[in-house]
Structure 1
Amino acid sequence: MIIAVIDGMGGGIGGQIVNHLRQELPSHFEIYGLGTNATATSLMLKNHANKGATGESAILISTRKANVIIGPLSIVIPNSMMGEVTDKIATAIADADAFKILLPIVPENFELVGLENKPLMLLIKDAIKRLKKEFNIK
């Protein structure tokens, strides 16, 4: 199974997701750290992603191979992350056949209603719990 973790800007969210996936999942799961910039990719690799790639083309190609895509909701909003998420990136992720687990972290001018405001750590734990449930991972 290939899990694509997608992040941008400083990569702090993606790095934490990769770190927790590594702790919670069996080692045979492949984790791709896909960054909208080199800093984000580097941080995900430091947290033990199996592979890392940077930029629009890498994200477009790698999301086709992924079984699961995890990242902040911003990755499906064109021009978010200060413009790092291009229209093509947002569309490729939204259109991918992969099961998507998106953390409710959005640009400042967006508001999601009806969601419980949780700290990042709890959101990541919830995301991993959902992944395990969806794919019957013990």
Structure 2
Amino acid sequence: MKIAVVDGQGGGLGRSIIEKLSKEISGMATIIALGTNSMATASMLKAGANEGGTGENAIVVNANRVDIIVGSVGILAANSMLGEFTPKMAEAVASSSAKKILIPLNRCGLEIVGTNSESLPGLIDLLVLRVKEICNANGKG
């Protein structure tokens, strides 16, 4: 199973997700860090990603090569992350057949009604739990 963790700016969210995923699904999946910039990718690789790619082409190409895509809800929105997430990136993620497990951060003008006000660490824990359930259901755990 291949999991893409997509992040931009400093890669802090992606880093936190990868740190927890690495502990919870060790050996069940390959984690691919996809950063909008080299700093984000480097941060996620330091956190334990197996592979990494940077920039628009890396995200566009890999969106259809993975089973699960994780990140913030902003990765579905063109020009999010202060403009780092291009329309091509958003289209590739949204159009991918991969399961998308997203954290509802409201920093990009998207507000998801019905979500609870869980803390960011709590949301990351929920995301990791869901990814682990999928890996286990696919006989990888």
Q: TM-score range by the shorter chain?
A: over 0.9
Query: Which has the larger displacement, 126-135 or 95-104?
Result: 126-135
> Equivalent residues in 2 for 1:36-51 (5 A)?
36-51=36-51
> Equivalent residues in 2 for 1:1-138 (5 A)?
1-135=1-135, 136=137, 138=141
Structure 2 gap ranges (5+): none
8 Å Cα contact 2:31-2:49 kept in structure 1: yes
Per-residue deviation, 1:43: 0.3
Structure 1 gap ranges (5+): none
Per-residue deviation, 1:133: 2.4
Query: Which has the larger displacement, 100-109 or 86-95?
Result: 100-109
Q: Secondary structure at the match of 1:83?
A: coil
Matching residue's letter, 1:8: G
CA separation of 1:119 and 1:70: change in aligned 2, threshold 3 A: same
TM-score normalised by length of structure 1: 0.94
Tell me how large the CA RMSD over aligned residues is.
1.3
What count of residue pairs does the alignment treat as equivalent?
A: 138
CA separation in 2, counterparts of 1:108 and 1:100?
18
Per-residue deviation, 1:108: 4.9
Per-residue deviation, 1:57: 0.2
Per-residue deviation, 1:115: 0.9
Matching residue's letter, 1:29: A
Matching residue's letter, 2:65: K
CA separation in 2, counterparts of 1:127 and 1:57?
26
Per-residue deviation, 1:5: 0.1
Query: Which has the larger displacement, 103-112 or 13-22?
Result: 103-112
TM-score normalised by length of structure 2: 0.92
